[in-house]
Structure 1
Amino acid sequence: MKRLVVCVWFIFLNQLNQYGVCDPSIDIENLAFLNRTTPSDRQLYDFRLEHPEPIGITTTSSGLPVEIRDTTALNMNQYKNQFHVDLMTDFTNPRIPERVVHAKGTGAWGYFEVLHDVSKYTTADIFNGIGKKTPAFVRFSQAIQSLGGYDTGREQKALSVKFFTREGNLDFLSLHTPVYFYKDAINFEPFGAVIKRNPKTFRRDFTAFWDFISQKPETLHATFWLMSDYGLPNGYRKADYFPIQTYEIRNKHGDRHFVRFNFRTCQGIENLPDSEANLIIPRDPDYFNRDLYDSIEDKNYPSWDLEMDVLSYDDVRRVNYDPFDVTRLWKRGTYHTIQIGRLTLNRNPDNFFRDVELAALNPSNLVPGIPGPIDSMFRARRFAYRQTQIHRLGINHNRIHVNTPLYRKEYNRDGKPPVLENMKDAPMYFPNSFNGPVWYVDESRPKDSLSLLQSKAVDLEVPAEFYHNYVVTEGQKGRFVNNTIALLLPVAPYIQRRVIRLFTLVDPDLGRRLTRSLLQAEQSPGFAPPRVLIPPKKHYYSSEYNMKLHG
């Protein structure tokens, strides 16, 4: 019995020491609190344990120490009280414009480690040298939700990573579905309007969504991914992510290859059924954010293997499909896959606004050896991302801490802060004869440039292949139909018919299933959403099919 008591006391002391606490005033009640809460729930409590004394004297924004009698605005000249003025002006001017899309999200710091030699394909410094580690910042986000939204909606999730390389910042903006809704950049604004709120009701408008989808058949493939099991992952950690577009890369000899990068989760793919996701919304609207934060604080660091599917320059000219089309997958057997390395996240931001909200990720941030995509969508993205970041953060957004490259020498200066050193007294024009920053010569850069002409044709074979190859079992088909019907119920009947006709052209069996389920749902009492035809066997289930897109 005495030995048991000693062991229990030893465990108790170890748990106290884990938090740096040896004060006997920390009693059993506090220890129980530590054991029953998650790191995100007790962040403030942990801060107090780490700082047993106040961290300093409160000041105004100009550094004036705040005297205790100035902590009230009663019975005094309020505008003479600078502490009060600071509080009021900060309250009324605290924020920057919200992102147009992908407003709600979170982020983490980490690193990328090269595990395989890919010098045959690219001269990019970040990918050359086995064992090389590059610091990185990752922002995860929800495509549709505003800052106050919830995480478990059926929509595209994103992993956007900024690698701080010795040759500049390299940004990959990735989605958890491997295809996008359209390839024509003119659809940027219309599709953005479709997923926003109705201007009168200020609600999500599924009539507008299906009206757009049914008139743009190229959107069906991405829609099918969202309606499938894969459309709603169980948190950010348990999903693969894809930068979507086909990137041109080149080696030291100037040889071109075309690749699609893939971030493959090391946690295993796991998805949520809508029935469980709907229960999470009121209980834990920040479910994805909390899961990522707690995982890192518990030192269960999430990671993703980075690989690339490769086509040579000659392969691109021989394949019988458009490898630059972001609405389709590459055909199996036409490419090979190369492993590169691993992205690991090991530190939560100390301040959410400073890191996550001020992060400016831009797909046109590229490095030597990765000149990037050549399709028309990417040309439009080069312009759009920079414009929105200037609007949101100002012209000097790349001088903000979370965006600053490891090395920069430029001729741009001034503007709204931050300006950092503002290039001090160096010459401010180019070219000059006074030893300002000079150019370099990339001898591997090809002398010719590529141009791409893309077809306007829409091929329904692409969504049909997805339905036949990835929605295979009765359970998968039942959930696919139920997820679609839930969004189709409030839509005008003639648009419902148009959607069903389009789904029938993709696969007659799918059209019949959709028609039967829609009638069943409409005839149910109170016109309620349809019953789950084939309930999932467990709350959180891994994909019943192999989500690897190759092999």
Structure 2
Amino acid sequence: MLKMRLVLSYIFVYFVVQDVTGYRYCNETFPDAASEQLPDFRRRHPRPVGVLTKVTGEPLDLRDTVTLNTEIFDNRNHFRLTSHLNRERIPERVVHSKGIGSFGYFEVTHDVSRYTKADAFNGIGKRTPLMARFSTSRENAGGAEPIRDIKAIAVKMYTKEGNLDFITFHIPVFTYKDPIDFSPNVRAFRRNPRTRLFDNTMRWDFTTLNPVILHANLWVMSDYGIPDGYRKTNYFPLHTYEIYNKHGEIFYVKFSYRSELGVYNLTNAQAMAIRAEDRDYYARDLYNAIAAKKYPSWRVEMDILRKDEITKVNYDPFDMTRLWVRGTYKTVPVGRIVINRHVDNHFKDTEHAAFSPDNLVPGISGPRDNVFRARKLFYPDTQNYRLGVNHDNINVNSPLYVKTYSRDGVPPVLDNMRDAPNYQPNSFNGPMPFVDEARPKVLPIVFHRNAIDLQPIAEFYNEIVESDAHRQRIAENVANGLVSVRGDVEKKALRLLTLVDVDLGRRVRSALQRLRLESPEKRLRQRAQCFADPEPDYHDDLYE
């Protein structure tokens, strides 16, 4: 009987995998440069690159590379190797653990000097080097990329005026507007502390008690929820930034990165098929595209409100959980981001990369909302924990020019400012601050409403989602997440969805009823169905 069950299980898995792997994904359009990395190294270095040494630089004798039939505790090389292995990992990022890094540049294509004095944004044709880290939000470092989740790109521009960081989502709305919600938000959407599984009951319980998150979640449940790789989607820094020009005039802007390849998305079946073959599909696609010199690029734009307009619009322009209303702002092109170079070493560059929304430059005062005010404190705090207090001295984070009174601490300390005075102010010609004459002298204070506003969510469902077929797919994706949820949490979720839109609540309820009438095996087979070479789902823009 046991053998019969094993045979039936094997047959079921075989046919499901056959259905899943019938979809051939787009990585085949490029030579697989990722698989050629080691042979390529050997071609570039036909001889060994040098004599092997211990970490102290002492040449390593061949006899010290083995411990068999020797006095093992006399082998210093063995102790150094193993003790280093025990310590070679650093704390995993709390969110966006799964990621890949690359280098590139930002190029100015339009004159925006009337809006900002930021040096990197002025001078058509000017190029500023940058580092970018692409990631998926809620997966652990070893998780899969082609899943229904928020994707992101964090960009660090090495400008002449300091590092300028932008941290983005691939959807244009954020998950919360009260910074105290960050911690429960992360925990509710990660793993159950006992089962160690992603738990839909946790997710929906938190969502019904904090409905502001529903807007972002519906974007993720829509056709935009699974991009076809990091290259083929837009990205949004989300905050409303205050910028100023050389005359001290203030403007409020939302930046956006528009993919010059267009926006392509995967269906559930396509994503499931790809995951069966390649959990690292996004990273492999990006690596191979750069190797083939098909450099990913994004058009950088600013949506702009003047200072006198900011108090006249009939919505909160600083609320990251909603979109600006069409027709109330104008859009200005700025430049383009091009990614054209791999990192040399993932751990050295990508894992050591430290980003903070508060890394700004003259001409960009930064956002004024409470989420930013919290992030400017806690991003450096997490980097101090993960990488150490001198994380800005790590090569990938180091600005082009730095003179500081910060000293000592866990390495790297670089030149530690040598023999310059270590206090400020001083009378002995240590580095001196400058005065930005154009910097705004008024500090606005932003107050947000505490009431939950479902209107932006309804507008997404009825206006941005343009077809009934798309609305039905959203409902089915939501129902797939609710099918394992029971009791009062399910009732609260259906009520919340109905309050957003009666049609949405009806569609989810119907889809949920159908799912519960089907066996788990039948649901899995249906989700695994896909054609051999389906046309990619293309959208010109997420929204205009």
Provide TM-score, normalisation by structure 2: 0.92
* Matching residue's letter, 1:406: L
In structure 1, the residue matched to 2:113 is: 119
Secondary structure of the 1:263 match is strand
- CA-to-partner distance for each residue in 1:151-208, whole Å, 9 max, x for gaps? 0111110100000000000000000010011101110111011122111100111110
**Is the Cα–Cα contact under 8 Å of residues 108 and 138 in structure 1 kept in the other structure?**
yes
SS of residue in 2 equivalent to 1:85: helix
Question: Are 1:310 and 1:338, in contact at CA under 8 Å, matched by a contact in 2?
Answer: yes
1:289 counterpart residue number: 283
Q: Distance in 2 between matches of 1:534 and 1:500?
A: 28
Structure-2 change in CA distance of 1:526 and 1:124 (3 Å): closer
1:541 to 2:533 alignment: no
* Aligned-partner Cα distance in 2 for 1:138–1:112: 11
Match for residue 4 of structure 1? none
One-letter amino acid of the structure 2 residue matched with residue 196 of structure 1: R
Cα deviation, residue 217, structure 1: 1.7
Aligned residues: 516
Q: In the aligned structure 1, how far is the partner of 2:198 from the partner of 2:30?
A: 37
Q: Alpha carbons of 1:89 and 1:119: their partners in 2 closer, same or farther (altered >3 Å)?
A: same
The one-character-per-residue Cα deviations of 1:6-37 (angstroms, maximum 9, x if unpaired) are: xxxxxxxxxxxxxxxxxxxxxxxxxxxx9996
Q: Is the 1:230–1:543 contact (alpha carbons within 8 Å) kept by the matching residues of 2?
A: no
Who is 2:396 aligned against? Answer: 402
Alignment of 1:51-200 (within 5 A): 51-200=45-194
Answer yes or no: is the 8 Å Cα contact 1:248–1:371 preserved in 2: yes
Given that 2:273 and 2:528 are in contact with CA atoms closer than 8 Å, whether structure 1 keeps it comes out as no
Instruction: Mark the CA change 1:163 to 1:498 in structure 2 (over 3 Å): closer, same or farther.
Output: same
Contact 1:229–1:543 (Cα < 8 Å) also in 2? no
1:325 aligns with 2:302: no
Post-superposition shift, 1:535? 7.9
Distance in 1 between the 2:156 and 2:445 partners? 27
Q: Which residue of 2 aligns with 1:227?
A: 221
Secondary structure at the aligned position of 2:309 is classed as: helix
Q: Determine helix, strand or coil for the equivalent of 1:270.
A: strand
Matches within 5 A, 1:346-357: 346-357=340-351
Instruction: Give the TM-score normalised by structure 1.
Output: 0.91
Quick one: distance in 2 between partners of 1:35 and 1:53?
33
Which amino acid in the other structure matches residue 421 of structure 2? P
Identity among equivalent positions (%) equals: 48
In structure 1, give the amino acid aligned to 2:232.
K
Which residue does 2:251 correspond to in 1?
A: 257
Distance change (3 Å), C-alpha of 1:533 and 1:344: closer
Amino acid at match of 2:534: H
The equivalent residue for 1:360 is: 354
How many angstroms apart in 1 are the aligned matches of 2:88 and 2:276? 27
Distance 1:460 1:536, change over 3 A: farther
Name the counterpart of 2:231: 237
Aligned partner of 1:443 in structure 2 is: 437
Match of 2:227, SS state, is: coil
1:18 aligned partner: none
Give 3-state SS (helix, strand or coil) of 1:210's partner.
Answer: helix
Mapped to 2, the partners of 1:538 and 1:509 lie a distance apart of 33
Is contact 2:479-2:509 (8 Å) kept?
no
Distance 1:265 1:37 in 2: 22
Is the 8 Å Cα contact of residues 497 and 505 (structure 2) preserved in structure 1? Answer: yes
Runs of 5+ consecutive residues of structure 1 not aligned to the other structure: 1-33
**2:516 matched to which residue of 1?**
522
Q: Kindly state the Cα deviation for residue 539 of structure 1 after the two structures are TM-superposed.
A: 3.5
Q: Which 5+ residue runs of structure 2 have no aligned equivalent?
A: 1-27
Do 2:171 and 2:219's aligned partners in 1 also have CA atoms closer than 8 Å?
A: yes
Report the alpha carbon displacement of residue 38 of structure 1 after superposing the two structures with TM.
0.6
In 2, the alpha carbon distance for the partners of 1:463 and 1:536 equals: 33
Pair 1:344–1:281, CA change in 2 (3 A) = same
1:422 corresponds in structure 2 to: 416
Larger RCO (CA within 8 A; separation ≥ 6): 2
- Aligned residue in 1 for 2:367: 373
Distance 1:360 1:36, change over 3 A: closer
Moved more, 276-285 or 131-140: 276-285
Shift of 1:108: 0.3
Residues 274-328 of structure 1: per-residue CA shift (max 9 Å, x gap) = 1111122231010000000000011111011110000000110100000000000
Which residue number corresponds to residue 213 of structure 1?
207
Q: Secondary structure at the match of 2:299?
A: strand
CA contact (8 A) 2:272 2:528 kept: no
Amino acid across the alignment from 1:96: I
- Structure-2 separation of matches of 1:532 and 1:139: 31
Q: Which amino acid aligns with 2:493?
A: V
Q: Distance in 1 between matches of 2:360 and 2:30?
A: 45
2:234–2:542 contact (8 Å) kept in structure 1: no
Q: Which amino acid is the alignment partner of residue 541 of structure 1?
A: P
Secondary structure of the structure 1 residue equivalent to 2:304: strand
